[in-house]
Amino acid sequence: QAIYSAGLAGRRPAIPVAHTALAAEAERRLSAPAHGYIAGGASGETTLAANRAAFGAWHIVPRMLTDIAHRDTGVSLFGHRYPQPFMLAPIGALELAHHEADVGAARAAAAAGIPAILSSQASRPMEACTAAMDAVAPGAPRWFQLYWPKSDALAESLIARAEACGCDALVVTLDTPLLGWRPRDLELGHLPFLRGQGLAQYTHDPVFRSMLADTPADSNRPPITPRLLANVLACARHYPGSTWRALTRGHGLAAVRQFVATYSRPDLTWADLAWLRERTRLPIVLKGVLSSTDAQHAVAAGIDGLIVSNHGGRQVDGAIASLDALIDIRAAAPDLTLILDSGVRTGADIVKALALGADAVAIGRPYAYALALAGATGVAEWIANTAADFELTMALAGARSVEEIRAGGVELRSGRR
């Protein structure tokens, strides 16, 4: 209602309302490498497309005369009540989109009371984001996303900082021990982390800084081995030595080198989760799980929830659409908290995800586009639009609350039959 009234009063929106228009406008305004990095997917981008197609294959069967006069869009997750069933997915290197970067997105989430999942690859340290959030709304919900690094001391330090920042949950992303094969980045010769972008959590970390102090600042050549990150090497080939030096000067080549050497532990197995479980009392949410067998491993490891995700189609091309994976995982783990991401764009998508077993959803690229167009104002507007779209779609489908949708209150029909 408020959105329609503002329109009638002649207030111009800061961002396009429809997702397709928002994405098109962001493409026009962003540099080609920044847009390619944000919009792109892995390899043939078939999973990127499959995520959307999976939502298109389900249809809502709306019910009439169900008394939808009073509505509640809130959800309870890990003992907290949040006003909407969607949150901001972690996105690295947001300064590519806008100078307000993570701080702008976090402030908009705080104003709306929805969780912002702060990325390990953020452009601003988590302390800057959470201070800005507390200035908007003290104690506003925030989660931290961890890329589990090689160094145990660095992992412990990042977790301790997330706890000190008042995070409500620790999200551990499992699907990125190596960066996926991303043609757009390779063609445009662009990978933000090689430019020192998105390293703020590390360069502000006392343990990472002590590792840096031990690194000899001797060479201008990137210390990237093919075995470590094959596609990082392919990307680096696009930079002649002098360009590489110019790019990394000012960002600290040593930090880039140390980051590449330390950021992931490809040798992790399910057995390692016991170590993590002992180190934090925060709820642990594993991000990037697509298999119901893995969901059962997670339950056995005492994990609190999953983000069912294929990283927005950026890691395994040809991977199952996350909505299809959700259905299998919900059947295998009826009581586990499940958040779905990858491909959620509209209120109807959120309704469908909830009806198919998600407790909530996370959304990535759309808020990055809103940030690109209008900073925190754009993200706030995008959150308000998405909340209104969801509430209207839920009510017009015949349900009053997320709990009702989850309990079978919205009938879906599969168009694939």
Give the residue numbers marked as catalytic.
Answer: 311
CA separation for the pair 389, 394 (Å, rounded): 9
Least separation in angstroms between CB 270 and ligand FNR: 19
DSSP states along 275-314:
HHHHH--S-EEEEEE--HHHHHHHHHTT--EEEE--GGGT
Output 194 or 395, the one with its CB closest to ligand FNR. 194
CA separation for the pair 231, 236 (Å, rounded): 8
Least separation in angstroms between CB 322 and ligand FNR: 8
CA separation for the pair 358, 194 (Å, rounded): 36
Part in contact with ligand FNR (CB under 6 A); list of ranges 88-96, 149-157, 218-226, 290-298:
88-96
Closest to 276 measured CA to CA, from 155, 165, 412: 155
The CA-atom distances, in angstroms, between 86 and each of 50, 92, 162, 201 are 21, 19, 21, 24
Closest to 305 measured CA to CA, from 94, 134, 117: 117
Regarding 306 and contact with ligand FNR (CB under 6 A), the answer is no
Q: What is the dihedral of CA 290, 294, 295, 296, to 10 degrees?
A: 160
Site string for ligand FNR, 155-174 (x = CB under 6 A): ------------------x-
Residue tagged 């660095």 (tokens): 154
Site string for ligand FNR, 169-208 (x = CB under 6 A): ----x-----------------------------------
Output 173 or 401, the one with its CB closest to ligand FNR. 173
DSSP states along 229-257:
-HHHHHHHTTS-HHHHHHHHTTT-HHHHH
Least separation in angstroms between CB 363 and ligand FNR: 5
Regarding 119 and contact with ligand FNR (CB under 6 A), the answer is yes
Binding residues: 37, 90-92, 119, 145, 147, 173, 182, 287, 309, 311, 314, 341-345, 364-365
From 205, 294, 341, 349, residue interacting with ligand FNR (rule: CB under 6 A): 341
Strand-strand pairing, 411-414 and 58-61? antiparallel
How many of the chain's residues bind ligand FNR (CB under 6 A)?
Answer: 25
Site string for ligand FNR, 46-65 (x = CB under 6 A): -----x--------------
Regarding 121 and contact with ligand FNR (CB under 6 A), the answer is yes
Contacts of 283 (CB under 8 A, 6+ apart): 78, 168, 169, 170, 304, 305
Output 120 or 157, the one with its CB closest to ligand FNR. 120
Regarding 305 and contact with ligand FNR (CB under 6 A), the answer is no
Binding residues for FMN: 90-92, 119, 145, 173, 287, 309, 341-345, 364-365
Residue 295: both structure tokens together: 């969901």
Site string for ligand FNR, 270-289 (x = CB under 6 A): -----------------x--
Regarding 347 and contact with ligand FNR (CB under 6 A), the answer is no
As to burial, measured by CB atoms within 10 angstroms (0-12 exposed, 13-18 middle, 19+ buried), residue 52 is: middle
The SS3 of residue 58 is strand
From 89, 118, 373, 376, residue interacting with ligand FNR (rule: CB under 6 A): 89
CA separation for the pair 62, 411 (Å, rounded): 7
Site string for ligand FNR, 214-253 (x = CB under 6 A): ----------------------------------------
Output 179 or 395, the one with its CB closest to ligand FNR. 179
From 84, 264, 309, 386, residue interacting with ligand FNR (rule: CB under 6 A): 309
Check: CB of residue 353 under 8 Å from CB of residue 344.
Answer: yes
Mutual orientation of helices 365-397 and 32-39 as an angle, nearest 10°?
A: 40
Part in contact with ligand FNR (CB under 6 A); list of ranges 160-168, 224-232, 306-314, 371-379:
306-314
Check: CB of residue 329 under 8 Å from CB of residue 289.
Answer: yes
Least separation in angstroms between CB 315 and ligand FNR: 9
Strand-strand pairing, 75-77 and 80-82? antiparallel
Output 45 or 391, the one with its CB closest to ligand FNR. 45
Binding region for ligand FNR (CB under 6 A): 37-38, 51, 89-92, 119-121, 145, 173, 287, 309, 311-312, 314, 341-344, 363-365, 368
